[in-house]
Homo-oligomer: A and B are copies of this chain.
Amino acid sequence: MLKGHQSWIFENNPKIRAVGTVVGPFEGQGPLANDFDIIHGDLMLGQDSWEKAEKTLLEEAAKLAIENAGLTQEQVNFFIGGDLMNQIISSSFAARTLAIPYLGVFGACSTSMESLALAANLVNSRSAKFVLASACSHNAAVEKQFRYPTEYGSQKPPTAQFTVTGAGASIVAEHGKGVTVKSATIGRIVDMGITDPFNMGAAMAPAAVDTIQAHLRDLRIEPGYYDLIVTGDLSRIGYEIACDLFEKHKIQIDQTKYYDCGMMIYNYEEQTVQSGASGCGCSAVVTYGHLMKRMLKGELKRILVVATGALLSPISFQQGETIPCIAHAVSLEMEDKI
């Protein structure tokens, strides 16, 4: 049901019945390693291209989520997924393997919550019994497409972010134990005129704040309603800017209750990731791996995940365009009784 101008309340309480998370070797060295289902030791995943490796990550995550939900592929009504590759080939080729009716989406790194918001909406309105939602990225595939081949060894400024190799998938269902998808807010494009693709955190922070403001306004709640608000993926630079903007706009968010997915998956002391992590897979694996596990353990009851995306392309950058950014928010709640 529409709430306010751009939010949905899911009054039928759709559930995330199961999830699947698959990551690469570098993510397996980070602080959240224990929260992921599969950690690959080989960045190629036994494939002959980075692109095929990314598709394989997603296929594995999707199959895990379907199995963990106690379903077969034939029972899943729709698959909603997207990624950063041109023409979202990772998701489309995985959709071929899965043979589930498919809705391709693109929101750059906001895809994780775009797909989850739409999946929850379809289940809530009885337009589906089971929906598979996903997002994925692969560091080497993304570097090659958006920047330089990894082998070139180009230097990066400290504002740059490191693309996560990972895929996260979930099954949203009418019934089930576990985490409820309570509401979602679909973001508008915010573009503050930044043109530097090595400073995406700064570009995306205003979009995250705009969507959080819209969410609080549409739902008529205060930030304190949530045990945790998590953006993704602003990383260190963007996180600081978001904090400044909260203060400027008088949004009272307790900084101990505000995290960013881009700052959670790597160990800054030991892993060279500049400002932090990014990529469609980042907020997907942090949410479905780490945050959901904390909710199921009872450590967190209500969280708001605000996935952010920088909707540029190499062509738009080369033509001197600024970076349009977006953020989609989904609120997750744990019922008292399990």
Mark A residues whose CB is within 8 Å of B. Answer: 1-2, 5-6, 8, 49, 51-52, 77-78, 82, 84-89, 92-93, 95-96, 99-108, 114, 118, 121-122, 124-129, 145, 186-189, 191, 214, 311-316, 319, 321, 324, 326
Contact = CB atoms under 8 A, between A and B. Distances in A.
A167 B2 CA distance: 28
Nearest to A188: B101
A312 B95 contact: no
A59 to B, nearest CB: 13
B313 A77 contact: no
B127 A87 contact: no
A106 B81 CA distance: 10
Nearest to A106: B104
Nearest to A324: B96
Given A92-B189, A103-B186, A108 B127 contact: no
A137 to B, nearest CB: 13
A162 to B, nearest CB: 19
Contacts of A129: 2
A121 B114 contact: no
Nearest to A104: B106
A324 B95 contact: yes
Contacts of A324: 92-93, 95-96
Contacts of A315: 51, 85-86, 89, 145
Contact of A96 (B82, B126, B189): B189
